[in-house]
Structure 1
């Protein structure tokens, strides 16, 4: 693999855009993490065709896709998307993210998502990011709280996952409020 071109660097992790060469590593991580993630994300195909469709979606102006990598090894430790980006007077995007079983619990997602948020506000010019999380996903709720997101509401039957419409809590952060987030623990 070529030397990665990172968009932003943190103390332990860095972010870069997803690329075609990430297929094998991301697929292996997703397969290894399937039991942990299925409850929240549903079953996801780990085929080359599904990955190509994902990359095609990221070519659209209203989507950005990132991998979070360890700086010391370039190993992928998480992923993030900013979906449904709207510019104009709204300047909003929806943040989605994935941790992996093998690297969960080390603070990599907190550090990496801080970089994604910085990129969203400083490089993409967004004013607001939303995250929609199932109410019993306490790990994800704790993560967005650490990042400075505030709970704004509850969306009934928000997303179709695992054969049913799932309720979600709606959380958001703005460019002004991000300064209230907890500092990164190193």
Structure 2
């Protein structure tokens, strides 16, 4: 399947809402719920506006993963970008819709994003974390040359997290 990733924009609101709504139960099996309000379009639109403001300020970047028919198959985000010493870094998150999972799309989308980050956004280090039992996500990160740096358990969390880092080899 051919993929493209593109920056999220206000015109994507309805399609993204439908993608999130359709995949709610699937996503909530892996990550905490975003709450019922998120699945009401008015609230969703407000949240989207806040995300787009972060994107405009260069704090975070939100991308849609689309197939060759322009259907949203997933999302990929780089949030909380900051400069650490001389390196600009951010935190990766992604989700693939249920009917597209297990097809290698997350691996491909992460690879596409990592290739564009240094030149287009000046980002040379990416942090990611996943729950200890999310083997699919661990596989995505490892296939994209993320290094496991720590396993920790938050005091309030039910499970441990694996923390990964990717560094641009060109710097």
Normalising to structure 1: TM-score of the pair? Answer: 0.78
Q: Which deviates more, 101-110 or 45-54? A: 45-54
**Shift of residue 28, structure 1, vs aligned partner:** 2.3
Paired residue for 2:168?
175
User: How many residue pairs are counted as aligned between the two chains?
Assistant: 162
**Shift of residue 166, structure 1, vs aligned partner:** 4.5
Paired residue for 1:181?
none
The CA distance in 2 between the partners of 1:165 and 1:121, in whole Å, is: 35
Aligned residue runs from structure 1 range 8-23, under 5 A:
12-23=2-13
Cα-to-partner distance string for 1:130-185 (whole Å, 9 max, x where unaligned)? 11100001111111111111101013218x7xxx46431101111118xxxxxxxx
Q: Is 2:52 the counterpart of 1:58?
A: yes
Paired residue for 2:141?
144
Gaps of 5+ in 2: none
The CA distance in 2 between the partners of 1:47 and 1:23, in whole Å, is: 12
Q: Is the 8 A contact 2:149 2:165 kept in 1?
A: yes
Name the SS of the counterpart of 1:81 in structure 2. Answer: strand
Cα-to-partner distance string for 1:91-137 (whole Å, 9 max, x where unaligned)? 11000011110211222222221111122222111110011100001
Work out which of the residue numbers 15, 26, 31 in structure 2 matches 1:36. Answer: 26
Paired residue for 1:94?
91
Q: Is the 8 A contact 1:78 1:99 kept in 2?
A: yes
* Structure with greater proportional helix content: 2
Q: Is 2:107 the counterpart of 1:113?
A: no
Gaps of 5+ in 1: 1-10, 178-186
Aligned residue runs from structure 1 range 152-163, under 5 A:
152-157=149-154
Normalising to structure 2: TM-score of the pair? Answer: 0.84
Paired residue for 2:74?
78
Name the SS of the counterpart of 2:121 in structure 1. Answer: coil
Q: Which deviates more, 28-37 or 113-122? A: 28-37
